[in-house]
Structure 1
Amino acid sequence: MAPVIALRSLSKHYGDLAAVADLSLDVGAGEIYALLGLNGAGKTTTIRMLLGMIRPSSGSVALWGESVRPGPWARVGYLVEGPAAYPELTVVENLTVAARLRASRGRRHVDEVIERLNLTAYATRRAGTLSLGNAQRLGLAKALLHKPELLILDEPANGLDPAGVAEIRSLVRELSREHGVTVVLSSHILTEVARLATRIGVIHHGRLVRELDAGDVAAQARRRLSVSARNLAAAERALLAAGFSPERTVAGTLDLADDRAIDAPEDVAVVLVSAGCPPTRLVVEQDDLETFFLRVVES
């Protein structure tokens, strides 16, 4: 069976700039595949080529075994580069227009998607007056209106508050697990991707540098116990004497990667207090996205 998405040696150049370079990947039915990368890594360009919005410089894109061509795909829903709407039309009117353009789905389906995206209270409000978060919900509603088999989302959490992010996460999981919808999303938020995706492609400078199963991300994003103390040298000696392996950082703290320090920071605090150099700060930290990327790219 052909994958839902097949990219083969996909490249896009703008003059001497390679926005995407020799990218190949497959996405199977029902997967939640995340393109993870720093801003400017090539995620949106890849998605735009996937949707036929721009032509690749070389390589090929296929959906369900068919070459991608410009124009709408009845089986695909998408939200790319921010939500688009007619600002003078209401939420209901925007969705009704979208439904008519799709030549499918009546008012009942419009009402269903409004309720699903928690837009009921804003149904009669003009789109131009919506907050960024609710405008994003409207964009998602339009993408879901025709019940697509493939959903492509570019930074879907943009503008949403934490509750809204959790709602979208739950919705995407439901679409994948209960309805078999294949989802491709791009994000630069490591924590959201790790919670949601089943598989992750790491893009850096337009290249796919690593593919990971979701469970591998937590292992790649290392944790450490960060310790601050007024007398850092004394704290370091006390921790070494207790069998820990502290490392000094350029920020003037001590980092401990020992599992026993991370799992029981209170034991570290006891050691330091007993040595007469109590910690002023003691916190378990995880690599941020940039640190994670540097490790993945350089490994």
Structure 2
Amino acid sequence: MNYNLLYYFKVLGETEHYGRASQMLHIEQPSLSQSIKRLENELGVALFEKRGRNVTLTEPGRAFHQQIDRAFEAIDAAALELYRKAELETITISSVHSHPKSGFSSYVTQFLGLPGNAHIKISIFERHTQQSFDALRNQSCDLIVCSGKHDTDDLVYHPLSRRRVILLVPPEHPLAAREELDLREALPYKFIYPSPITGMRTIFEKLFAECNALPPMAMEAESVNFTASLVADHVGIALSPDAEQLDMYRIKKINLTNQASIFYHYLAYPGARPLSLAARQFVSFIVGQTTGLRGDREDV
């Protein structure tokens, strides 16, 4: 079976949005659509179904996606082992899926361009926050970029960026006339809950703990894009990190006045496990670039 087809399926399954996936893969959207159809024909099963202007994984598609995700993790681990044996010093990072406002990619480019760093290679793999924590525990990466802290681990956290959670509603929703509100005002309405494997689920629960109540659930969703599409389709309202891709959807973004609506992205690593010299240099560079960013007030 063609490796590229499986990788295209993996990325589309994560985004559930042809436009976003084709941008990430640097291919035209019709080519991506044809590739997915070819894979479905080879397997003899529908992997996606249309939902409004976007797609969602079918039940067999979701099960297949979980298996493919594990397969690519095994490939990543094998590649990491090779990198570690090569002359290049490799830093492997497992990162949350979309954090364009964090400036992290710019930090990576700046670090690699510094004199004396030509021998260093940085490999970044995109995963949900919980999957990144697992990768760190399994020693399949050196560092992670995550959207919250675990209180019961030995990780060292350095804040990368300060972010805000917003409320997404359809334009016709009773709350759509508001520019900001306290989340307690949205409690009567059905919410699309973030999937438990995402860092956003922890932030979601912390916000509603501040409200001393949980809203009714419409359904669960993993990605920012799929969540936004469900809101546009009037399935429910939702919390989301403020992100550029939300502007593609017919939704209203509302700011929250709740203290817990502010969260941070962190660079994290085990305090008890020695880092390579290259990884230590990278951490020191990040700390220098983000001095003054107060992440210690946020304890997700």
TM-score normalised by structure 1 residue count: 0.22
When normalised by structure 2's length, the TM-score is 0.22
Larger strand proportion of the pair: 1
Q: Report the structure number with the largest CA radius of gyration.
A: 1
